[in-house]
Amino acid sequence: MRQKRFKSLGVSGFHTIAYTEWGDPENPHVLICLHGLCRNGRDFDRLAGVLARRWRVVCPDMAGRGGSDWLPDGKAYALPTYMTDCAALIARLGVEEVSWLGTSMGGIIGIHMAALSGTPIRRLIVNDVGPFIPAAGLRRIIALLSGDPRFADDHEAERYFRRAMAQFGISDPEDWRHMVETGTRPAPGGGLRLHYDPAILSDATAPEAITDVSFWRVWDAVSCPVLVLRGSHSDILLPETVRDMKRHGPPVTVAEVEGCGHAPALLDSGQIGTVSSWLTNI
């Protein structure tokens, strides 16, 4: 595991993007793994450690998360910024094409980038997200993640994570410890805080401002093979959305992940095996 950084350009100037890289740095077979809304690239440590035998796995922290800079304008936490940062990352890696695995927000970014003319994305895995996202699921997530809670210690933080991430299907105590370790940072004055900028959610905290999200035209423009992972109890990727994703747009393989909702944590051997097998055989 190697931790690296680079400068990307946004509307308010340059900002630093941190990323973790696994595997042979000369391997031309690159897999970019991109996290969800308020998580970071360390979510993929377990998966990357396995896939690094065959792939150069790159796990960035989007701006405002993990080791990356917080942006001075909260409104810049949006798709154009994320896509620009990801394009800069691919350029830095020095490769012509990549495979992409995105959880939730990371999947949305991947779909939009894969739909563009000249895209470098040749394979796409979307983890529990699609081109229709119901408002009810979004409201639940925003309600769980909004605010800037502080924790006295790891034990208090873990209780919060177990509540906020109850649908991730995590059962191993060591996995919960990893989530706390990588998902918190020291707070001024002592204790811990969450490892992301609360301004990420500043424009989405009013329930009445949250509506259904739909981007089917973008989905229809994707042409590369896609693996869709769906948590069996997900309220973000609905069964009817998956059915519609299979009817039009790119060629799709669907894998239902039992025992979790939004979103599968990709920590257990079965989930990792599903990803590895699809990447190997596609």
Per-residue pLDDT of the chain in tens (282 residues, 90 and over written 9): 999 999 999 998 999 999 999 999 999 999 999 999 999 999 999 999 999 999 999 999 999 999 999 999 999 999 999 999 999 999 999 999 999 999 999 999 999 999 999 999 999 999 999 999 999 999 999 988 888 999 999 999 999 999 999 999 999 999 999 999 999 999 999 999 999 999 998 766 566 778 999 999 999 999 999 999 999 999 999 999 999 999 999 999 999 999 999 999 999 999 999 999 999 998
| Angle value at C-alpha 44, between 213 and 141, nearest 5 degrees | 30
Q: Rounded distance, CA 193 to CA 221, Å? A: 40
Tell me, what DSSP letter sits at residue 42?
G
CB 43 within 8 A of CB 182: yes
Q: What is the pLDDT of residue 203?
A: 64
Distance between CA atoms of 86 and 107, rounded to whole angstroms?
13
Domain boundaries, the chain: 2-137+212-281
> What CATH superfamily is the domain 2-137+212-281?
Alpha/Beta hydrolase fold, catalytic domain (3.40.50.1820)
Chain CA centroid to CA 161, Å: 17
pLDDT of residue 168: 96
| pLDDT at res. 206 | 66
pLDDT at 152: 97
Amino acid symbol at 258: E
> Which structure tokens are listed for 223?
């042409």
Strands, E assignment, the chain: 2-10, 13-22, 30-34, 56-60, 98-103, 121-127, 132-133, 150-151, 184-186, 192-194, 213-214, 226-231, 252-257
